[in-house]
């Protein structure tokens, strides 16, 4: 088993590698997306998996640091989707386009993975009143599928989903 450190501006995340197979990585990616979706709407919701508590803390930190950016992007995308037709397919397409751009340079890291979940949570939070539970489910499923299908190999090469220890600086 090996350990590594990931540095954020105000915390250190210590990771302990696990030997998750790709199916476990994909299932966990989808569970984490559902967890973040529910958490952004109802913060008292029960954890869906053992990695969710740490992901919630890191998403909260990212959200507080970049609230203006996330709000602005959510608003702009909402306006664009509304003009083009706010269907589930349009939301999926739009989310995947933005998430793909995040990884366009081919450099994957845990910060970007967390940003996918934070972005999904912000879209859900920002548009839940106007679009309801169907939108929350669509975005959560899309985020989970994106991480599962596009990033599972990379996550496996990092040792799988890890037991994260969040240490504020």
Confidence (pLDDT) at 3: 40
- Cα(80)–Cα(75) distance, rounded to whole angstroms? 9
Confidence (pLDDT) at 8: 44
Question: What dotted CATH number matches 28-159?
Answer: 1.10.437.10
Average pLDDT value for the chain: 81
- The predicted model gives 115-136 an average pLDDT of 83
Q: Residue 4 in 3-state DSSP?
A: strand
Q: Which residues contact 131 (CB under 8 A, 6 or more apart)?
A: 86
Confidence (pLDDT) at 67: 82
Name the DSSP letter for residue 78. H
- Per-residue confidence at 9, pLDDT binned at 50, 70, 90? very low
Of 169, 165, 168, the C-alpha closest to 4 is 165
Whole-structure pTM over 0.85, yes or no?
no
């Amino acid at each position: 088993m090996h350990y590594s450190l990931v540095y954020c501006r105000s915390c250190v995340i210590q990771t302990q590698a696990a030997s998750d197979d790709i199916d476990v990585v994909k299932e966990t990616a989808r569970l984490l997306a559902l967890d973040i979706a529910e958490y952004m709407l109802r913060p008292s919701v029960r954890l869906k998996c053992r990695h969710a508590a740490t992901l919630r803390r890191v998403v909260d930190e990212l959200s507080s640091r970049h609230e203006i950016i996330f709000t602005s992007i959510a608003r702009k995308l909402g306006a664009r989707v509304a003009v083009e037709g706010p269907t589930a397919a349009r939301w999926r397409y739009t989310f995947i386009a933005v998430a793909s751009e995040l990884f366009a340079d081919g450099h994957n890291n845990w910060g970007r993975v967390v940003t996918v979940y934070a972005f999904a949570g912000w879209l859900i939070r920002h548009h839940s009143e106007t679009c309801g539970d169907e939108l929350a489910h669509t975005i959560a499923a899309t985020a989970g599928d994106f991480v599962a299908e596009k990033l599972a190999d990379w996550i496996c090469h990092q040792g799988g989903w890890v037991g994260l220890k969040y240490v504020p600086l």
